[in-house]
């Protein structure tokens, strides 16, 4: 009975060793390297908008993005964020609503 209990007590150790052996035996090393790069080039349409602000003309380019099938949003000249609502300061800087309160460029 005592012998049996000792044997049972040794089982977790043995199991651990067996598992390590199997791990060593069947482990494979995989090296992954990039083999090809794909450059996707799509035509885009640039649309020139002329905006008149207090009789002054301001040209704004909008890009039609064929991937999203929409016009790319403009970029605030003050903070660089994408904008869908545009504002202009007295010097006609293109701004977002936050920058329009105090133009960072003027
Ligand atoms: Zn801004
Ligand atoms: Zn300004």
**Average pLDDT, stretch 76-94?**
93
The answer to whether position 93 is within a domain reads yes
In a domain, 60, yes or no: yes
Nearest ligand (C-alpha, residue 89): 2
Domain count, the chain: 1
* Ion ligand 2: residues, Cβ under 5 Å: 89, 91, 93, 103, 105-106
- Between these two residues, 35 and 96, which has the higher pLDDT value? 96
- Ligand 1 center from residue 25 Cα (angstroms): 60
Interval 19-68: pLDDT, tens: 898 888 888 888 888 888 888 787 778 888 888 888 888 888 888 888 88
For 81, other C-beta atoms within 10 Å of its C-beta total 13
CA 68 – ligand 2 centroid, Å: 31
Q: Confidence class of residue 99 from pLDDT cuts 50, 70 and 90?
A: very high
Is residue 25 situated within a structural domain?
A: no
How many CB atoms neighbour CB 98 within 10 A?
14
Mean pLDDT over residues 70-87, rounded? 92
What is the DSSP secondary-structure string of 32-75? -------------EEEEEEEEETTEEEEEEEEEETTTTEEPPEE
The ligand with the least distance to the CA atom of 102 is 2
Contact 60/74 with Cβ under 8 angstroms?
yes
Asked if residue 85 is part of any domain, the answer here is yes
Is residue 35 in a domain? no
* Structural domain contains residue 18: no
Q: Which residues constitute the domain of residue 63?
A: 45-101
- Categorise residue 54: left if φ over 0, alpha if ψ from -120 to 50, beta otherwise: left
Distance from residue 96's CA to the centre of ligand 2 (Å): 11
The answer as to whether 38 is a domain residue is no
5 part of a folded domain? no
């Amino acid at each position: 009975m005592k012998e049996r209990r000792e044997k049972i007590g040794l089982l977790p150790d043995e199991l651990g060793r067996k598992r390590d052996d199997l791990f060593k035996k069947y482990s494979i090393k995989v090296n992954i390297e990039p083999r090809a790069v794909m450059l996707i080039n799509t035509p885009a349409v640039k649309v020139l908008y002329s905006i008149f602000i207090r009789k002054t003309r301001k040209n704004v380019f909008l890009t039609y993005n064929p991937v999203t099938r929409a016009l790319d949003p403009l970029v605030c000249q003050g903070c660089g964020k994408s904008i869908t609502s545009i504002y202009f300061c007295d010097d006609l800087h293109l701004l977002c609503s936050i920058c329009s309160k105090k133009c960072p460029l003027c």
